[in-house]
Amino acid sequence: MPVFEMSDANFPVDAEGRTYHVECRRGDIANRVVTVGDPQRAKLMAKKFDKILLERSSHRGFLIITGIYKDVPITVVSIGMGLSMMDFFVRETRAVVDGPMSIVRFGSCGSICDAKPGNIIVCTSSYGIMRNYDHFTNPFKKAESPYLITDRVQADPTLTLSLSTKLKNSMGKDSVFEGSNGCADSFYGSQGRLGSNFVDENDNLIPTLKKKYSDAVSLEMEAHMLYHLAAVSKDAQSGEQSIKATCALIVFADRTGNEFITPEASQIAVEHCTEAIFNTLVEESFKGSSLHPVEGSV
Ligand code: R1P
């Protein structure tokens, strides 16, 4: 017996129209969305809502909280970690929202610049860092590089400028950094973390990234997928790009100074950034409507 009765193997939905993994249906998700990794971060942000319309956890670890902030519906979704979770989130929410979407990722990262734990990094672009699996296991591919580094995908420039300006006003301009983010397929090997239990050949990875991209500032695990999917999104009728995306990251780890954030500093950073992020989304104006209320899902 399946746990869930789904129809349509191509894009599974249940009898009530909920998607397979995120478990969202039409009316659950606002056009203005914040995505975070940690459900506690989502709950802390949702405290700034004037009213909660919907809170729902999925069987695959997604948490949706839709609320009203300054009369505007905003959805916060916690997705867990990694590229696949970002892919589920973007594709399944996109499938149930009508009209354009603006998505801000509010995550955490390791800093490979001067930003210290508790500072914020706004990702003006993001590139992918993938382990070149064959290099490690195929003796004929030893000459290939152990890591594949993609081109950069730009964040939406207007959304990014608006977010960065508001974060600087809230946190102080010296606490906010900007640059290219490296989005890795692992927390460990593909982010240059060293260990003795596996062959990773990553001692030189961070200098290689900095050489390729002189504005490299951070490492995390989701932003490139978000920016990539935004770049290839298309409205079914007009063919125009249907998702705008940007990203702000709290520095959790200083990869140069080898420091890690305290739980208190992490909470303070979330509290300082939430209104800047919500206000950025509130100011987004969409063609045809400025509100896009969600209906009938509470
Ligand atoms: C790793 O600890 C996780 O933290 C970062 C990474 O991208 C990865 O998901 O982001 P979040 O804090 O948003 O989860």
Q: CA of 201: how far to CAs of 132, 133, 191, in Å?
A: 11, 12, 11
Q: State residue 296's pLDDT score.
A: 44
Is residue 84 within 6 Å of ligand 1 at its C-beta? no
The Å distance, Cα 107 to ligand 1 centre, comes to: 6
- pLDDT confidence tier of residue 3, bands split at 50, 70 and 90: low
Q: State residue 287's pLDDT score.
A: 60
Long-range CB contacts (< 8 A, 24+ apart) of 78-81?
78/35, 78/36, 78/37, 78/38, 78/39, 78/41, 78/42, 79/35, 79/36, 79/37, 79/222, 80/37, 81/37, 81/187, 81/221, 81/222
Which of 83, 111, 191, 222 is the best mutation target for the ligand 1 pocket, counting ligand atoms within 8 Å of the beta carbon and taking the most? 222
pLDDT beyond 50 at 298 = no
Is residue 107 within 6 Å of ligand 1 at its C-beta? yes
pLDDT beyond 60 at 189 = yes
Q: State residue 138's pLDDT score.
A: 98
* pLDDT cut 90: percent of the chain above it: 93
pLDDT beyond 80 at 213 = yes
Q: What is the pLDDT of residues 221-267, one digit of tens each?
A: 999 999 999 999 999 999 999 999 999 999 999 999 999 999 999 99
Residue whose CA is at the smallest distance from ligand 1 atom 4: 108
Q: State residue 4's pLDDT score.
A: 74
Please state the pTM of the whole predicted model. 0.96
